[in-house]
Structure 1
């Protein structure tokens, strides 16, 4: 047997290979404590600080979103109110325009009726004037025709204008009297 095997056999007899040596356990504990203290002293506060900042940002973002949503809701309600007011105003303006249109139409009808009445009255006046003119012309023509006829019947000239005018007036008066009796029938 060689010497290494003897040493290994001697050591193997009293030690368990799964259990570490005491100095290894002590040094491992010292390293673990140093690393733990360093972690709690330096790393944990920074990690906590970063997590707190993130949670503050998230909470601030949520609050800002809630405020923005409340403002959006308020703005939407204002918009809807303005829209409703605008619709009411448009309906009022349409009704006002309809009323004004009816008033203008009534006014135009009244003006047209007045103009038609004026034209009819003017036409009646003109007709009356033309009738009077025609009656006058017919009387003169009838008078001269009556004188001519009287001259032919009598066989002599009726040269005296006073007698001629008197005869014409008497003849026309008789015609008017006959026309008045004929109309009364």
Structure 2
């Protein structure tokens, strides 16, 4: 066996260890071409199909996302419009309530003023009635006192009722006349 190794070593020039033998290159090329044909015939179409499906899904997802975003923007705009409308309605209701409150307050004030005026008028009427009653009582008492004084001064009885009444009325009329003249000064 040693002889064969020596024979093979002597028969040719020094082979380059980095270059493969030609039959290795040939068979490697054949296997490469077969693998490349199988790869391009079966793997590349499936890979292209998968990539196309992915692209369609991505594009569909983007379209759905854009549609969803447009709907979200529209919903947001509607929400903002409803919120603005609600704020305007709340402001209108507040203003209406304020106006109604002022009207109710004015009405209550008017009713209170009317009630106060009625109470004052009733009080004036009662005071006038009481004043008239007191004046009547004072006149009667003053008349009796005047008759008693006259009896004491004259020393005789002034028993005639008609004369007493006439004397009392005359005396009171003179007092009223003097009071009127005294007030006019």
TM-score range, shorter chain: 0.7 to 0.9
Q: Give 1:164's aligned residue.
A: 164
Aligned residues: 184
Q: Does 1:37 align with 2:37?
A: yes
Whole-angstrom CA distance in 1 between matches of 2:67 and 2:182: 104
Q: Give 1:151's aligned residue.
A: 151
Using the size of structure 2 for normalisation, the TM-score is 0.87
Task: Compute the displacement of 1:87 (Å).
Answer: 1.8
Specify the SS of the correspondent of 2:12: helix
Using the size of structure 1 for normalisation, the TM-score is 0.87
Q: Give 1:20's aligned residue.
A: 21
> Which stretch shifts more, 112-121 or 5-14?
5-14
Q: Give 1:99's aligned residue.
A: 99
Whole-angstrom CA distance in 2 between matches of 1:16 and 1:172: 169
Q: Does 1:174 align with 2:159?
A: no
Going from structure 1 to structure 2, the CA distance change for 1:46 and 1:2 (only over 3 Å counts) comes to closer
Whole-angstrom CA distance in 2 between matches of 1:2 and 1:139: 179
Whole-angstrom CA distance in 2 between matches of 1:124 and 1:4: 158
Task: Compute the displacement of 1:111 (Å).
Answer: 1.6
Q: Give 2:51's aligned residue.
A: 51
Specify the SS of the correspondent of 1:86: helix
Q: Give 1:66's aligned residue.
A: 66
Whole-angstrom CA distance in 1 between matches of 2:14 and 2:138: 174
Structure 1 residue runs of 5 or longer lacking an equivalent are none
Specify the SS of the correspondent of 1:156: coil
Query: How big is each residue's C-alpha offset from its partner over 1:81-132, in whole Å with a ceiling of 9 and x where there is no partner?
Result: 1122122222222222222222222222222221221121111111100110
Q: Give 1:87's aligned residue.
A: 87
Whole-angstrom CA distance in 1 between matches of 2:161 and 2:15: 187
Task: Compute the displacement of 1:25 (Å).
Answer: 4.5
Query: How big is each residue's C-alpha offset from its partner over 1:114-161, in whole Å with a ceiling of 9 and x where there is no partner?
Result: 122112111111110011000000011011101111111111112222
Structure 2 residue runs of 5 or longer lacking an equivalent are none
